[in-house]
């Protein structure tokens, strides 16, 4: 799955705005806005989430889950686990 933070970071890495992401994912701008406003992991229509993830991957974004390595070894960012 994808979190709202990952979505915002992916969009920033691609240098695109919400409108452009909506266009490449074949989703509406309000749908992208709702996804980005989610708290934590994005929940919603499975079809919309699959369109979003496919569009991001096609654009060159690799989503990395907690505890997983990036097999291609490209540049990226990840939040460290909070201690305590």
Q: What is the DSSP letter of 72?
A: T
Residue 80: per-residue pLDDT: 73
Q: What is the DSSP string of 2-52?
A: -BHHHHHHHHHHHT--HHHHHHHHT--HHHHHHHHHSSSB--S-HHHHHHH
Domain hosting residue 41, numbered range: 1-84
Residue 69: per-residue pLDDT: 79
Domain count within the chain: 1
CA dist 45 and 76 (Å) reads 27
Length of the chain equals: 84
Residue 44: per-residue pLDDT: 83
Q: Are 2 and 41 in contact (CB under 8 A)?
A: yes
Ranges of residues in the chain whose predicted pLDDT is under 50:
none
Q: What is the CATH number of the domain that holds 64?
A: 1.10.260.40
Residue 23: per-residue pLDDT: 98
Structure tokens given for 7:
């979505």
């Amino acid at each position: 799955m994808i979190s709202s933070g990952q979505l915002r970071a992916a969009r920033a890495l691609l240098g695109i705005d919400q409108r452009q992401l909506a266009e490449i994912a074949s989703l509406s701008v309000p749908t992208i806005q709702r996804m980005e406003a989610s708290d934590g992991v994005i929940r919603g229509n499975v079809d919309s989430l699959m369109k979003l993830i496919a569009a991001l991957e096609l654009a060159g974004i690799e989503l990395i889950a907690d505890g997983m390595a990036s097999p291609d070894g490209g540049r990226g960012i990840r939040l460290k686990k909070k201690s305590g």
